[in-house]
């Protein structure tokens, strides 16, 4: 509980003596004595649920207003309602004012970029746990300890939920939380009051242009994370052109990493060797050099490992100790996750759903492939249509055989999506097309030979397909495992 006047003190003077319990933006989750934050959302307007929140026990309501002169107005006719100017932009700060204790324990790392966020956050958490400390993640696959993840539905949850969960982690004495920070979350202010100690940038390539409309706006959204006042270190991928430019702008705040032997990088990898059991590379840092051995696959996973290593190095962890523990790191579920059949072929399940992601996944699979490299992929419905022919062209160029199928078609005609992909192919007659994803996978597996690698791109860790607005159960990792075990 907190006095409402103390909670509101940073914004305006309130003379009442009411105490309030945990704030929420969901009227159904109001606790007795709680504070309801009534804000307009993308699907519903929380201001229409004030009465419901009060009937569920809300002591007070903060109500969003777009009129500056209404800021701080108090209404008591039907329960306590206080107008708050642009409350939708202050949710994170209000939640932080309530939750964040003075004795904050958890060190928070924010990871942003088009690809690699999930892998980098999970690798950071794995390394911290291997060092004997406690770590959590927040992101696409879920929030919490690595073996106890709870799905939130979004890469970055709503502003109040983010702060609430971080507070819970601090109370549980979690040492490090590695959080995926999406461009949507940054633009919409969902993490504005999060006390990030380290901000990490992985890369930038085409994605979410249906939301941002231009690559410049998309990059600017990601760049916001580097400007948080709490950030002590900005860990930047110098092999990305956007990252290289930011590195120059950020000055002493920035710590760069590179796979391409960029001499301005604090941490570099060279002499990488890719083999059937993983990869090996030499790592250089200011105080020395050591060998990284890992079972993870592909160059982009080496970049993810370097991002995680650089982050932990910036936080003061021992580089030799981190390298010693590296062979114990496990692949992230649905991220270049390899299933090997007794018949001699392999199925690699990866979440790649952008042009850059597919490019990197195929290059990674090629370095571990002795036979034919197959690529099975689709594109999501109701999303950026411009990337569809691009992904078709990438698959045709980098794979030996391709199967074009469905991803989450949502409300679109799946055949129309396949036609958009077909437009990017130089030799469409050489490709296979099948709308039903499971049928398509089984067709490719039936054609596979020993030494072949089949990349299943787009679904990764997801356990559903969204068709006509409804999600049906579909677990591609389980299917891959089943097919590898049953193929003759």
Annotated binding site: 27, 113-119, 154-156, 182, 188, 190
For 211, what's the count of Cα atoms within 13 Å in the CB-facing half-sphere? 14
How far is it, in rounded angstroms, from Cα 58 to Cα 269?
55
How far is it, in rounded angstroms, from Cα 274 to Cα 281?
9
Exposed (0-12), middle (13-18) or buried (19+): which is 312, by Cβ within 10 Å?
buried
Helix axes 387-398, 355-366, angle to 10 degrees: 10
Structure tokens at 181: 């920070």
Contacts of 430 (CB under 8 A, 6+ apart): none
Beta-sheet strands, E only, within 296-446: 337-340, 346-350, 373-377, 401-404, 432-433
Structure tokens at 242: 């956007």
Nearest in space to 460 (alpha carbons), one of 360, 383, 358, 350: 350
Contacts of 220 (CB under 8 A, 6+ apart): none
CB 453 within 8 A of CB 362: no
How far is it, in rounded angstroms, from Cα 463 to Cα 478?
9
Structure tokens at 24: 């929420």
How far is it, in rounded angstroms, from Cα 221 to Cα 223?
5
Calculate the alpha carbon distances from 153 to 67, 143, 158, 319, 462 in Å: 32, 10, 10, 35, 11
Contacts of 486 (CB under 8 A, 6+ apart): none
How far is it, in rounded angstroms, from Cα 473 to Cα 390?
29
Helix axes 299-314, 117-130, angle to 10 degrees: 50
CA 182, chain centre distance (Å) = 6
Exposed (0-12), middle (13-18) or buried (19+): which is 127, by Cβ within 10 Å?
buried
SS3 for 269? Answer: strand
Q: Annotated binding site for ATP: which residue ranges?
A: 113-119
Structure tokens at 250: 């950020």
- Pairing status of strand 401-404 against strand 432-433: parallel
Nearest in space to 65 (alpha carbons), one of 43, 53, 44, 82: 82
- Pairing status of strand 346-350 against strand 453-457: parallel
């Amino acid at each position: 509980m907190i006095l409402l006047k103390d909670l509101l003190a940073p914004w305006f003077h309130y003379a009442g003596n009411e105490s309030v319990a945990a704030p929420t933006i969901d009227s159904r989750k109001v606790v007795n004595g709680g504070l309801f934050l009534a804000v307009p959302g993308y699907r519903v307007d929380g201001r229409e649920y004030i009465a419901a929140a009060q009937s569920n026990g809300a002591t007070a309501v903060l109500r969003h207003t777009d009129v500056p002169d209404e800021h701080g107005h108090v209404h008591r006719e039907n329960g306590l309602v206080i107008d708050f100017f642009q409350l939708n932009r202050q949710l994170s700060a209000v939640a932080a004012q309530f939750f964040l204790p003075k004795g904050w324990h958890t060190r928070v790392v924010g990871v942003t970029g088009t690809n690699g966020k999930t892998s980098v956050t999970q690798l950071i958490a794995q390394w911290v746990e291997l060092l004997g400390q406690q770590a959590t993640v927040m992101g696409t696959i879920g929030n919490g300890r690595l073996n106890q993840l709870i799905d939130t539905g979004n890469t970055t949850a709503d502003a109040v939920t983010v702060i609430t969960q971080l507070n819970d982690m601090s109370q549980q004495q979690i040492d490090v939380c590695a959080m995926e920070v999406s461009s949507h979350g940054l633009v919409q202010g969902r993490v504005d009051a999060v006390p990030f100690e380290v901000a990490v940038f992985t890369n930038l390539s085409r994605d979410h242009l249906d939301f941002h409309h231009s690559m410049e706006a998309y990059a600017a959204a990601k760049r916001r994370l580097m400007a948080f006042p709490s950030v002590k270190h900005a860990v930047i991928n110098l092999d990305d052109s956007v990252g290289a430019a930011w590195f120059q702008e950020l000055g002493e705040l920035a710590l760069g990493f590179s796979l391409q032997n960029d001499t301005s990088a604090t941490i570099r990898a060279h002499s990488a060797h890719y083999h059937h059991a993983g990869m090996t590379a030499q790592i250089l840092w200011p105080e020395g050099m050591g060998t990284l051995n890992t079972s993870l696959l592909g160059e982009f996973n080496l970049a993810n490992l370097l991002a995680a290593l650089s982050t932990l190095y910036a936080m003061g962890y021992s580089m030799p100790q981190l390298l010693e523990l590296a062979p114990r790191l496990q692949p992230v579920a649905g991220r270049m996750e390899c299933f090997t059949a007794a018949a001699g072929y392999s199925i690699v399940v990866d979440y790649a759903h952008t042009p850059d992601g597919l490019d990197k996944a195929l290059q990674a699979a090629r370095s571990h492939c002795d036979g034919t490299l197959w690529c099975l992929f689709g594109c999501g419905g109701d999303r950026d249509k411009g990337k569809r022919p691009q992904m078709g062209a990438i698959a045709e160029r980098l794979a030996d055989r391709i199967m074009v199928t469905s991803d989450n078609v949502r409300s679109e005609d799946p055949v129309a999506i396949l036609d958009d992909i077909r437009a990017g192919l130089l030799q469409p007659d050489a490709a296979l097309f099948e709308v039903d994803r499971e049928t398509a996978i089984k067709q490719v597996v039936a054609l596979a030979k020993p030494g072949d690698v089949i990349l299943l791109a787009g679904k990764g860790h997801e356990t559903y397909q969204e068709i006509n607005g409804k999600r049906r159960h579909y677990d591609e990792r389980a299917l891959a495992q089943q097919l590898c075990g049953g193929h003759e």
